[in-house]
Amino acid sequence: MMPFIHIGPIELPTFGLMVAAAMIAAYYVLRADLARRGIAGKDSSDPPGSTNRRPGGPALAELLVVVPSLAGIVGAKLYHVLETPRELFAHPAEELLSRYGLAWFGGLIAGFVAWVLVARAKKIALLDSFDAGSAAAALGYGIGRIGCLLSGDGDYGVPTSLPWGMSFPNGLVPTTERVHPTPIYELIAACAIAWLLWKMGARQIAAATPTLAKDARMGHPEKPLRSGSVFAAYLVMTGAARFLVEFIRINPRSFFGLTNAQAASIASMIAGAALWWHASRQ
């Protein structure tokens, strides 16, 4: 493992580099989704009066990636330290300023709030913006998990005898046992979820386009996906993936034998199912 890359006197954390890579990947996916939905233009260099020009352009995608991402990092850190209040009160500065320790659910909450604020400021329909950002969020999460793998920060799983088991002797949380490389599992699941959400978005857009919707009804009639359906699927699938992987993670159990992340995953799946029901009744 390689927790840090040293370039002369400069020390670069690999986790931070992968978070930056995740933000870049999410930006391009989000920009493409905003463009195909007509929410914002893909290229701000379109000449004035061009029919392809939409308000915001890449700048809107940048706002919707950077602001929620930064808020998510802060939220993930706060959620993590609040999970162990005794340690926080004993060493507040050390816990808050440490470069390690981020909780997925805290990042989701803070990122969600920041996204809502940006979307409202730009006068974008919330459910449409959530749908547009779902595939990007799923992909960005998966790429960010590679940072956990490279740094060996303790997000790996329980010991295993499977041939792809890995050890992290030089990780931030070292182990010489061969364990489940759960960040790789989450990367694979996240990429699959992102692909499914992108396909759902294409179907949603086709149903909202009069000529395409007519052709679809004549060929293969399907119930259209309403606003919020893609985001609902994101909440359900992402929650389910995290819930399952927690069974082989080393996180401590809390109530009912579940980890905090599993409890958050259940809440995510319930919220997604409720939103899907609401959207289907529109």
Rounded to whole angstroms, how far apart are CA atoms 82 and 78? 6
Per-residue model confidence as pLDDT tens digits over 89-109: 777 776 676 666 677 678 878
Cα 14 to the center of its chain, rounded Å: 18
Task: Tell me the domain boundaries of the chain.
Answer: 4-280
Confidence (pTM) = 0.83
Q: What is the pLDDT of residue 75?
A: 85
Q: What is the pLDDT of residue 235?
A: 95
Per-residue model confidence as pLDDT tens digits over 14-44: 888 998 999 999 999 999 999 999 887 665 4
